[in-house]
Amino acid sequence: MGIQRSSTNKPKMQPGNDRSTSIRASNVISHLIEGGPISIDDASYDTWVVEHPSALGSFDQMMRAAKGKKIAVFLDYDGTLAPIVDNPDLAFMSDEMRAAVREVAKYFPTAIISGRSRDKVKEFVQLSNVFYAGSHGMDILAPPRPVKSCDGKHHTVALDKKGNEVLFQPAKKFLPAIQKMRTALKEKVMKIQGARVEDNRFCISVHFRQVREEDYEILEKKVKSVLEHYPEFHLSWGKKVMEIRPSIEWDKGNALEYLLDTLGLGNSNDVLPVYIGDDRTDEDAFKVMLRRGQGYPIIVTSSPKDTKASFSLRDPSEVLTFLLRLARWRKSSSSSRLLAQIWGVSD
Ligand SMILES: O=P(O)(O)OC[C@H]1O[C@H](O[C@H]2O[C@H](CO)[C@@H](O)[C@H](O)[C@H]2O)[C@H](O)[C@@H](O)[C@@H]1O
């Protein structure tokens, strides 16, 4: 583990950069910011979806290939389990979605991997049968299975009070600096109407969804002027948000592998991770899945986007349908297995 990069890595903010903006109507820069580059030409969703087929349309095929495999489910929060809304404090998931996640987690090990703080995402999700990874995977509460530490330097592993869960916080040493930076950022941007600094524990989000377009540039300058004093941190761009985090080689992809390890599935050839996410940071997990040659990376998007995902879902309502089908599939295959055992036939 070491310093990854110390400066910004994305172009300037531009107006109209919501990921839901149609690629046909938008400029390319806007997609560089929120979703990753895609060719300027009229790449329509219909063309794009051929390369990234709908996980609903492909469901039967996916599940046929999953037969006999150990499925583990990984879910992003904002834009995946909850729709994107103006006020990040009000990004609630629906009761239906909660019930669906609960149901899925009954049958498969399930983890939520979010950019939010672990406490915040738990507060939103309110489920006790899932694992939570906050701060883009830099704060994980997982079961105490054999832990494969990366290099033993940055990693802090501690048992919780009950001794039955392991807290993994590879960026713990950065906390004092993060707190100082958060205070500085709040002071700097407080006069910009609509700007909002969110405490995500091991990272900081500076939101500009409610900032006037003419103030984007000054906001970006102010944020960068604070970041200059913190060379061990870097800035990345999400959906109308600037995210500042420690430059350690740890992202949602590492978190996915860490969770697989702690779930005892790390070395298993027959494991099949299903990862659903909508954001640039989820691409880190998709890359890991591609490298491992395992699982179903599923992107949530309603417009064409450059992605490593193999499958797609349009929006959280399709995520809901997918999760319900997944749970139902498992339930019915367990009942048929049981019946087969009772009747002495193989399924
Ligand atoms: O990894 P995630 O769970 O997807 O978290 C990524 C960021 O999500 C949140 O911001 C986004 O959703 C907000 C609520 O819908 C929206 O207002 C904002 O514009 C989006 O960027 C969260 O507030 C951030 O802290 C997370 O980093």
pLDDT tens digits, residue range 32-80?
344 444 444 446 899 999 999 999 999 999 999 999 999 999 999 999 9
Check: CB of residue 114 under 8 Å from CB of residue 123: no
Nearest protein Cα to ligand 1, atom 23 = 88
CB atoms within 10 A of CB 4: 15
**Edge-to-edge strand list for the sheet holding 311-313:** 157-159, 166-168, 139-142, 131-134, 110-113, 70-75, 271-277, 296-300, 311-313
Calculate how far, in angstroms, residue 88's C-alpha sits from the geometric centre of ligand 1.
6
**Reduced 3-state DSSP string for 105-151:** HHHCCEEEECCCCHHHHHHHHCCCCCEEEEHHHCEEEECCCCCCCCC
Q: What percent of the chain has pLDDT over 70?
A: 78
Separation between Cα atoms, residue 347 and residue 27, nearest integer Å: 52
Nearest protein Cα to ligand 1, atom 5 = 115
Nearest atom, ligand 1, residue 85 CA: 15
Q: In a mutational test of the pocket of ligand 1, which residue from 236, 239, 284, 300 has the highest number of ligand atoms less than 8 Å from its CB?
A: 239
Separation between Cα atoms, residue 177 and residue 160, nearest integer Å: 25
ipTM over 0.95: yes
Separation between Cα atoms, residue 91 and residue 192, nearest integer Å: 22
More confident residue, 11 or 252: 252
Is the pLDDT at 136 greater than 60? The verdict is yes
Ligand 1 pocket: which residues have CB below 6 Å? 76-79, 84-86, 88, 91, 114-116, 198, 200, 205, 207, 209, 238-241, 243, 279, 281
- Given this model, what pLDDT does residue 153 score? 39
Calculate how far, in angstroms, residue 151's C-alpha sits from the geometric centre of ligand 1.
30
Calculate how far, in angstroms, residue 115's C-alpha sits from the geometric centre of ligand 1.
7
Which residues in 15-25 are b (16+ Cβ under 10 Å) and which e?
Answer: eebbbebebee
Amino acid at 304: P
Calculate how far, in angstroms, residue 222's C-alpha sits from the geometric centre of ligand 1.
21
Q: In a mutational test of the pocket of ligand 1, which residue from 121, 135, 219, 241 has the highest number of ligand atoms less than 8 Å from its CB?
A: 241
Nearest protein Cα to ligand 1, atom 15 = 84
* Dihedral over Cα of 210, 211, 216, 218: its sign: negative
Q: Tokens 């009070």 label which residue?
A: 161
- Given this model, what pLDDT does residue 17 score? 36
Separation between Cα atoms, residue 140 and residue 123, nearest integer Å: 15
What distances in angstroms separate CA 6 from CA 10, 178, 198, 227, 230, one per listed residue? 13, 15, 21, 9, 8
Runs of H (alpha helix) within 67-94 = none
Is the pLDDT at 317 greater than 70? The verdict is yes
CB atoms within 10 A of CB 144: 14
Where does the pLDDT of residue 149 fall: very low under 50, low under 70, confident under 90, or very high at 90 and above? very low
More confident residue, 5 or 311: 311
The whole-chain average pLDDT of the chain stands at 85
Calculate how far, in angstroms, residue 218's C-alpha sits from the geometric centre of ligand 1.
21
Nearest atom, ligand 1, residue 241 CA: 21
End-to-end CA distance of the chain: 47
Is the pLDDT at 200 greater than 70? The verdict is yes
Instruction: Say which range, 82-96, 132-146, 214-228, 311-325, has the weakest mean pLDDT.
Output: 132-146
